[in-house]
Homo-oligomer: A and B are copies of this chain.
Amino acid sequence: MKYRLIDAEKDHHDVSLLARVLGVSRQGYYAWAKRGPSARARRDAELTEKIRRHHTASDEIYGAPRIHADLREIDGEKVGRKRVARLMRAAGLAGVSRRRGCRTTIADRRAAAASDYVDFYASEHHAANLGQIFRPTQAPLTPNWKHLPIGYHGRAGTVVVSGTPVTRPAGQYIVPDAASPAFGPSRRLDIEAEIGFVVGTPSALGGSVPAAAFTEHVFGVVLVNDWSARDIQAWEYTPLGPFLGKSFATSVSPWVVPVDALAAARVAPHQDPAPLPYLSDGERWGLDITMEIRLNGHLISRPPFGSTYWTADQQLAHMTCNGASLRTGDLYASGTVSGPHPDQRGSLIELTWNGADPLELPDGSRRAYLMDGDTVTISASARSADGTRLGFGEVTGTIEPNR
C-alpha cells in the first residue's frame, strides 16, 4: 500500500531515469499519502523545543556550537552538530557565534535537475500587481495575457535543491538621477513562491502534447522559490525579458509529489475569454494547494495556488504547441502565486508594494527586501482523496552575502 503511487506511475514514466536526472533516490517518489510525521520528524520537533529554550535563555546569542554543547552537558542529549545547525536554520534561530557557510545535514549538493526550465506567469493577481508596479502608466495586464499563458525560459543549471545557500547576486541597476547604471550587489532581492511541474516522459520534436495528455507526461509537483533581483530585472528586461535578475538561483523542494496523488485537489478556474481550442482540450488541472511562506520562521503569506488563472495542463499544451519537445527532468513553474488578498501575495515586491510598506518581523526589524542571513521557507499542503492533508515538504534557502 505504501508503494501504491509509484506502482501506478511505473507503467509510463521511467522513474529510474527521472531519479537519476533529479539526483535523488528512488525512495523520494514514494507517496506522501497517509504517512504521519516520521520518528525522525517527531524527534526533530522535540529537539527544536530544547534548542529554542537554550537559545532564548542565552539572550539569543548562542549559535549551533554552543547549543550543541549545552544539549549534551545540560540535557544529556547526544545529537550531531550538523543536526543542531539544521534545526536552528529551520527554526530561524541564529546566534552571533554562528559560523558563516556552515554545512547542515540537508544535502546542499547541486540538484543538477532540470533539463530545461520554463517559468510561467500564470497568476492574474501577481501579473496585475507587477504591471501596476513596473508599468504604472499602462494597463496592468498586457493584451496577450488572457489569450496565452505567458512564459519564458530560465536557467536550468542554477536550479538547486532546498537548503542550498543563495548568494546575493550582483548586476547592473539604475540609481535615480544617475547618468548611467551602477554595478553591485542587488538591493532588491526577492522571492517568488511557485508550484513546479516535473516532466517524467519526453515527447518528440515537431509534435505537440495536448492538454489532455498532462498526466502522461508530467510526473509530479515540487515547491519552487524562484529568487529574483528586482533592481537587476527592471533594468535588463526590455525587450527580451528577465535574464540575470532570475538566473542566479531557483530553489526546489527535494520531494516530488506524484500528480496522481493530487486528483482530489483538482480545480477548474474560470477563464474569460474562452481560451483557444488547443488550450481547452480535456479537463483543467488547476490544483487547490495552500502555500505558506515564512521569513526567518515568521509566517508572512499564504498564497492559494487554486486562484491561479492558467493551469498546468494548459501550460504544457502551450509550451509544446510549436513543436518543441520535452525531456525527462524538464521543469516548468507556475510563476509567482498571489491570491486576491494582501496577505496572499507570493513575493516581497507585492507584500511591501515595492518597499513602500515594509514587513514588520517579530524581532522588531523591518524588511522591504531580503537581507543577508535571511531564511525563506515555503511549505504547502493539499487535500488528499481520504480527506487528510497531503504535505509537500518545504523549499528553504538562506541568503549569503555577495562574494
Binding site for B on A (CB under 8 A): 110, 112, 115-116, 118, 121, 134-135, 142, 144, 147-148, 150-158, 160, 164-165, 167, 169-172, 180-181, 183, 205-208, 229, 232, 235-245, 247-249, 273, 276-278, 318-319, 321-327, 330, 400, 402-403
Using Cβ atoms and an 8 Å threshold, which residues of chain B touch A241? 152, 237, 239-242
Please determine whether B158 and A324 come into contact, CB atoms closer than 8 angstroms: yes
Of the listed residues A110, A148, A164, A326, the one surrounded by the most CB atoms of chain B closer than 10 A to its CB is A148
Contacts of A169 in B (CB 8 A): 322-324
Best-surrounded residue of A118, A156, A207, A249 (most CB of chain B within 10 A): A156
Contact A167 B205 (CB under 8 A): yes
Q: Which chain B positions have C-beta within 8 A of A324?
A: 155, 157-158, 169, 244, 247-248
- B155, A116: Cβ atoms closer than 8 Å: yes
Distance in Å: Cβ of A34 to nearest Cβ of chain B: 36
A382 CA to B321 CA, complexed, in Å: 39
B248 touches A322 (CB 8 A): yes
Distance between Cα atoms of A402 and B181 in the complex (Å)? 45
Given A180-B273, A238-B144, A323-B169, is A205 in contact with B158 using a C-beta cutoff of 8 Å? yes
Evaluate whether A153 and B243 lie within 8 angstroms (CB atoms) in the complex, with A205-B110, A205-B167, A248-B322 already known.
yes
Given A152-B241, A157-B327, A207-B403, are A236 and B144 neighbors across the interface (CB < 8 Å)? yes
Cβ contact within 8 Å between A183 and B277: yes
Contacts of A326 in B (CB 8 A): 157
Beta-carbon contact of B321 and A244 below 8 Å: yes
Given contacts A144-B238, A244-B324, 11 further A-B contacts (CB under 8 A): A115-B157, A118-B243, A134-B239, A148-B236, A150-B243, A152-B242, A153-B243, A167-B205, A169-B322, A170-B322, A237-B239
- Cross-chain pairs A/B with CB under 8 angstroms, 30 sampled: A112-B327, A116-B155, A135-B239, A144-B235, A144-B238, A150-B240, A150-B243, A152-B243, A153-B153, A153-B247, A157-B327, A157-B330, A167-B323, A169-B324, A170-B208, A170-B322, A170-B323, A171-B321, A171-B322, A183-B276, A183-B321, A237-B241, A241-B241, A244-B319, A244-B321, A244-B324, A247-B319, A247-B322, A249-B323, A323-B402
User: Binding site of A, secondary structure by majority: helix, strand, loop or mixed?
Assistant: loop
Q: Within the assembled complex, what's the spacing in Å between the Cα atoms of A236 and B169?
A: 28
Question: Which residues does chain B contribute within 8 Å of A207, judged by CB atoms?
Answer: 403
The 3 closest A-B pairs by CB, nearest first: A241-B241, A167-B206, A169-B322
Residues from chain B with Cβ under 8 Å of A235 in the complex = 144, 148
Q: Is the CB of A157 within 8 A of B321?
A: no
A372 CB to closest chain B CB (Å) equals 13
Contact of A172 among B147, B160, B170 (CB under 8 A): B147
Report the Cα distance A330→B156, complex, angstroms.
10
The smallest beta-carbon distance between A373 and chain B, in angstroms, is: 15
Q: Choose from B153, B276, B319 the contact partner of A154 (Cβ within 8 Å).
A: B153
Q: How far is the CB of A350 from chain B (nearest CB, A)?
A: 16
> Which residues from chain B contact A273 at a C-beta distance below 8 Å?
180
B contact residues around A240 at 8 Å (CB): 121, 150-152, 237, 241-242
Nearest CB in chain B: distance from A349 CB, A: 15
A256→B334 CA distance, assembly (Å): 37
User: Cα distance A79–B232 when bound, in Å?
Assistant: 58
Q: Which residues of B contact A164 (CB under 8 A)?
A: 205
Minimum CB–CB distance for A367 against chain B, Å:
21
Q: Are A116 and B152 in contact (CB under 8 A)?
A: no
